[in-house]
Structure formats: structure tokens, C-alpha cells
Amino acid sequence: MTVLLLDERWPTLIPMEWVGKLSGPVTFHPEVPVKVQWNISAILDASDSESDELYVAFDEDLPEVRERIDAGAQVYAVPSREDAVYQAQRVMHRAYSLGEWERSHTHETLLPYLKEEAAEFAEAVSSGADDATVKAELADVFLQVLFHAEIASRRGAFGINDVAQAFIDKLRSRAPYLFDGTVFVVDIETQDRLWQEGKRAELAHAALTQAEKNTRK
């Protein structure tokens, strides 16, 4: 019995060296999209009826998956699942799914915790705390970012990946030298000028977008 754990971000990516090792009747958890099932089935050897079942899923904590793992199934987890940020996102998602305390919160009720964690991080830096302490305090701030993103994702607004993309979009607008192949150090005066130019362009675009929305009403 074998369990293949995919990365839901890139569900069709499997290390090439695994292709010859994975065989047997394939069963997919219902969460795996049909198109992904077709793609996976096309590269795996499902003709070997003598082999044990190959179960394909995203989440190792699902009862169907956990049952197979506890029964001694060999697990192949794609390497990208080991990404710490991805794991943190999954832990936050599970915490919100299972924890009554987490589920009781909104963006507004979490604000005191965000302020507290930011203040504790600032205090750690100001007091010259060691790197381990600063890292721990920064992790608490990161938890708040994950928490707010999870709340937003539950209402279909945005998720943590969208937050990361917003960061990239902002720097693309305000620090274009990070994306145009520049290799020399950019002086502070130029950085400040580009930042302000980008900010003004963003505000102008936002105003234009709002005006267009008002016109359509």
C-alpha cells in the first residue's frame, strides 16, 4: 500500500525518479480535481494489478489517508510540501477548522493581539534581545498575518498567497529596479523618488478605477 501526497499548489508536479516506483491500482481522494487525476494516471503505471493500491491525496490528516498511513503504507510526499511557509499556512488552516477559539475571531477582534505581538517584537529589537528571541517574536507577528489571511480566505476575499502577491506588486510599482535587471546599488535618493512615483501612480489608478465604478452605477 502506497500513499502519494501532492502539493495542492502544483498538483501535477512529481519528481521524475518516482514515476517508475509508483504503480498499481490508483485511487484518488475526491478533493483531487479530475483533470489532475487524468494527468497523474497518464504517467503512473496502473496496469500492474498485482501491486497494492496507490492512494493519491493532498492532506495527510484526512481520515482515509491517516488510516492507510497508520496501517503501514509507504508515503511519498512531494518535496515542495516541506516548504515551511506552506506548512505554516496549512497549520493555520487546520487550527481555524478545529479550534473554537480561532473560529470565534474576526479581523476586528484580533487587532489587540496584533498590536501586542508587534509591540513585543519592537521591544525585543529595542532591548537588544538575542536572535532566537527576535525570531520567536517575529514568528508571533507572522502568526497574525496568517490568521488574518485565513479569515479572509474563508469569506472568499483573499489568502496568504494573495497577500504575498500584493507585496510583489507593490515593489514592482515602487522599486522597479528589483525587476529590470539592475545590478548596481541604487542610491537612497533614487529609491525615494521611485517609491513616491510608484505611490502616486497607484493612487491615480485607484481613483480612475473608482470613477469608472461610479460611472457604471
Q: CA 209, CA 204: separation in Å to the nearest integer? A: 9
For 69-78, write each residue's pLDDT tens digit.
999 999 999 9
* Mean pLDDT score of the chain: 92
For 2-11, write each residue's pLDDT tens digit.
999 999 999 9
**pLDDT at residue number 213:** 81
For 18-63, write each residue's pLDDT tens digit.
887 887 788 999 999 999 999 888 877 666 556 688 999 999 988 9
Could you give the C-alpha distances from 5 to 62, 74, 114, in angstroms and in order?
A: 11, 11, 34
Region 190-217: mean pLDDT is 90
**pLDDT at residue number 182:** 96
Q: Give the distance from CA 37 to its chain's centroid.
A: 22
Q: Are residues 32 and 58 in contact, defined by beta-carbon separation less than 8 angstroms?
A: yes
Is pLDDT of 217 > 90?
A: no
**pLDDT at residue number 49:** 58
**pLDDT at residue number 56:** 94
Is pLDDT of 132 > 90?
A: yes
Q: Which three cell numbers stand for residue 31?
A: 478533493
For 137-187, write each residue's pLDDT tens digit.
999 999 999 999 999 999 999 999 999 999 999 999 999 999 999 999 999
Region 111-122: mean pLDDT is 98
**pLDDT at residue number 210:** 85
Q: Are residues 145 and 160 in contact, defined by beta-carbon separation less than 8 angstroms?
A: yes
**pLDDT at residue number 191:** 98
Report DSSP letters for 146-178, one per residue.
HHHHHHHHHTTS--HHHHHHHHHHHHHHH-GGG
Closest-CA residue to 122 (of 100, 111, 112, 137): 137
Instruction: Using pLDDT thresholds of 50, 70 and 90, give the confidence band for residue 117.
Output: very high
